[in-house]
Amino acid sequence: MSDTLHIDRGDSPWQGFTSSYEEEQRGKQVAAVAFDPAFEPPRHLTEFGPLLAIDRAARRVVVNAAYFSPISRADATRQTPGARHQLGRCTDPDLLAAPARLARFLVLSELVETYWHVGAELRATDDPAPPDHPLHRTHFTGHHEYYTNSHHQAPLTFTIEIDRTTGTMTLAT
């Protein structure tokens, strides 16, 4: 499967929760909690179901404990080549049975950060590994946009690995 993803700052679940360096750093660790009806699901992620939500009362973004362990967000734009960052674990067999979809969720939800200021455009390509192979890889290539004194585009390449046996989700560059 191959397709193009558009990640836009305007869709960020963390919008409004990065008013200070400390608050931004707190957002790098995402708690896995039981979902509350007061939580707000991001509109652009509704196709994925109740996996991630905004807890406005606590000024945080959370993942659903029925599907995930706590998540340690990773910044694909700043990761050095050859580095690996374990995001956390998916604990839901149905999600693990559809790893390509799960990899796209990780990017579109911004659990994997893919831009500095504006957004990113990425092409996702899945390895043609047999369905019974435990490790699924989705490769992302494209660019992200940012501003210094002018508009810039920088190339971006990374891979999300999902171990269907353990549920471990990893960002690799």
State pLDDT tens for residues 30-78.
999 999 999 999 999 999 999 999 999 999 999 999 999 999 999 999 9
Q: What is the reported pLDDT for 147? A: 78
Please name which of 160, 170, 172, 162 lies closest in space to residue 136, comparing C-alpha atoms.
162
Could you tell me the two tokens for 166? 């353990």
Check whether 2 has a pLDDT greater than 80: no
Pick the residue with more confidence: 96 or 151?
96
Task: Give bridge partners of residue 75 from the DSSP assignment.
Answer: 113
pLDDT in tens, 118-173: 899 999 999 988 777 899 999 999 998 877 888 888 899 999 999 999 999 999 99
pLDDT tens-digit profile of 8-28?
A: 999 999 998 877 888 888 999
pLDDT for residue 156: 96
Chain centroid offset of residue 36 CA: 21
Q: Where are the domains of the chain?
A: 2-172
Q: In this predicted structure, what is the pLDDT of residue 120?
A: 95
